[in-house]
Amino acid sequence: MSSVLLASNQNSALINTLDQSPSKSNPQVYSLDKMYPFSSVQYVSHNPTNSSVVMGQSNTFDVLKYGIASQFVLEFEYNIKSVAISGEADANAAQTHHPALQLIDNIELVSSSRVIQRLTRADLLAIASDGDYEYKAGFNEGVGDGGDSGSAKAIASTTTYNTAFINMAFPLLANAKTQLNTTFLEPQRIVVNWSNEKVYAGGTTLAYGTPLVRNCLLHGRYINYNNTDDANLLEENYGDGTLSQLSYEYFDEVPSEAVALPASADSVFGGAGKEVEIKDTGVVSDIYVMLVPESGDQTLTGTGAVDHEELTELGRPQPIEEIEFVASGQTIFSGKAKRLALFGRNDPMSGRHHQSGASSTTNYTFPNGLNNVYRIQFGQETHKNFPSGGISMRELNRPIVRVKRSAYSGYGSGPTRNLKCRLHIVLRKHSVVTTESSNGRLISSINN
């Protein structure tokens, strides 16, 4: 039935030329181009070395020598309001977005006494903003997001605990080639540093909840090979001495000062609360830009006091109108932030553009503000499992990110417009992690 098409193809100069290419491959020819060794998988729950959780302090988990660590997920129960707050029965009673994430200051991967990689709250938001819809949905549910701003959410109870699940998305675990071979490496630990950040959990009475955390566990996934495959792995990676692996890490620049959001969109770039100079000199593949309100910057009483619905915005990135990146007297990027949100995550290998989130619920917006995490991409690919280029900040003179903030309408009658935000800049940059074959010592050796 298709002979007429084949006959037409035979008379095509282009098809006849391409048919001679050595790259031609018939997908119906059976072959095993690549096959992984068969292995076992062990799921293990780790208890912290110090069982009680105290906000502002830390819990440490010893990574077991069970094989190649491919994933860690933190689980804990939390209650963000251990005392009753008047006004909680109000129709607009609400709680902070992603409250579980607000309880964490940062997480660290530690080898001996050296911090190899660290992820802050802002880093976890940046990572989630790069994920596909399923990843964002899992992140959203895992951190306990309550709903849209200014609408009724599940009111925090003084007795009921919720359960959080947070993926420990260390860059070394994102690539199978750099995952931790715990049986060979020196002892590894994961440290969870809890924050002193306040979490709003009330009604019309402006008061912060008193967070309580309990039953904290770290769930690990370990891969094991048989003796032959394991011996081959050790020989390939460590047989020649020191192993140097190209990975990446996240770095947070010092945020701007906290300034109240404007009633009308900014007309000029930069100024108080609207610019951050990049001091790091590393090789950067991406710059993440986000405008975040934090509890310590808000005024609860008197002049400049926030509305109770504004407090639901704590920790949630706010919309930005335009973004500008300048360095050495040259404008590298200047344009609408929405363009970056929708098409800034370029992926030429697949021909797709990944978005941090759209602006309407029907287009998969997530109420925790992931759509307001903007990324300036310098690498050629959006993927995280191989290096695709970047730029060195070493010789750039005064690289600065400036923004114009969007108009902020506030909430309630009035309305109140006193929500203060800081401009946060997160860098995703390349780094080299070195393992000494003689003792399994792991160090971060080069990052600029």
In a domain, 335, yes or no: yes
What is the distance between the alpha carbons of residues 139 and 130, in angstroms, rounded to a whole number? 12
Helix (H) or strand (E) holding 17: helix 13-18
93-102, 239-248, 403-412, range with the lowest pLDDT = 93-102
What is the distance between the alpha carbons of residues 377 and 375, in angstroms, rounded to a whole number? 6
Q: Give the model's pLDDT for residue 310.
A: 82
Q: Give the model's pLDDT for residue 153.
A: 47
At 227, phi and psi to the nearest 5? Answer: -60, -40
Q: What is the pLDDT of residues 133-192, one digit of tens each?
A: 888 888 988 988 754 443 334 455 667 788 999 999 999 998 899 999 999 999 999 999
In a domain, 298, yes or no: yes
Residue 193 has pLDDT above 60, yes or no: yes
In a domain, 35, yes or no: no
Q: Give the model's pLDDT for residue 148.
A: 43
The first and second tokens of residue 350, run together, are: 């697949």
Average pLDDT over residues 213-232: 95
Q: Give the model's pLDDT for residue 149.
A: 41
Alpha-carbon torsion (281, 282, 285, 291), positive or negative? negative
pLDDT band at residue 422, thresholds of 50, 70 and 90? very high
Average pLDDT over residues 233-257: 91
Average pLDDT over residues 4-17: 91
In a domain, 140, yes or no: yes
Total tally of structural domains belonging to the chain? 1
Average pLDDT over residues 387-410: 90
Q: What is the pLDDT of residues 254-280, one digit of tens each?
A: 999 999 999 899 999 989 899 999 999
In this structure, which amino acid lies at residue 207?
Answer: A
pLDDT band at residue 389, thresholds of 50, 70 and 90? confident
What is the distance between the alpha carbons of residues 22 and 276, in angstroms, rounded to a whole number? 51
H-type alpha helices, 313-447: 337-343
Among residues of the chain, what percentage have pLDDT more than 70? 85
In a domain, 166, yes or no: yes
Among residues of the chain, what percentage have pLDDT more than 90? 50
CATH code of residue 117: 2.70.9.10
pLDDT band at residue 112, thresholds of 50, 70 and 90? confident
DSSP state of 176: T
115-119, 281-285, 294-298, range with the lowest pLDDT = 294-298
Q: Is 261 buried (19+), middle (13-18) or exposed (0-12) by CB count in 10 A? A: buried
Residue 240 has pLDDT above 60, yes or no: yes
Q: Which residues pair with 118 in a beta bridge?
A: 108
Q: Give the model's pLDDT for residue 204.
A: 62
210 or 37, higher pLDDT: 37
Q: Give the model's pLDDT for residue 376.
A: 95
Q: What is the pLDDT of residues 325-368, one digit of tens each?
A: 999 999 999 999 999 988 888 776 655 555 655 443 444 455 67
User: What size, in residues, is the chain?
Assistant: 448
In a domain, 301, yes or no: yes
Residue 288 has pLDDT above 80, yes or no: yes
In a domain, 17, yes or no: no
Q: Give the model's pLDDT for residue 349.
A: 62
Look up the domain containing 422 and give its range: 40-446
Q: What is the pLDDT of residues 63-107, one digit of tens each?
A: 999 999 999 999 999 887 655 555 554 444 556 777 889 899 999
In a domain, 25, yes or no: no
Residue 232 has pLDDT above 70, yes or no: yes
414 or 136, higher pLDDT: 136
**Coil, strand or helix at 249:** strand
Q: Taking all residues of the chain, what is their mean pLDDT, rounded to a whole number?
A: 85
Q: Give the model's pLDDT for residue 152.
A: 35
What is the distance between the alpha carbons of residues 62 and 64, in angstroms, rounded to a whole number? 6
Q: Give the model's pLDDT for residue 313.
A: 84
Residue 405 has pLDDT above 90, yes or no: yes
What predicted TM-score, i.e. pTM, was given to this entire model?
0.90
In this structure, which amino acid lies at residue 9?
Answer: N
Q: Give the model's pLDDT for residue 359.
A: 40
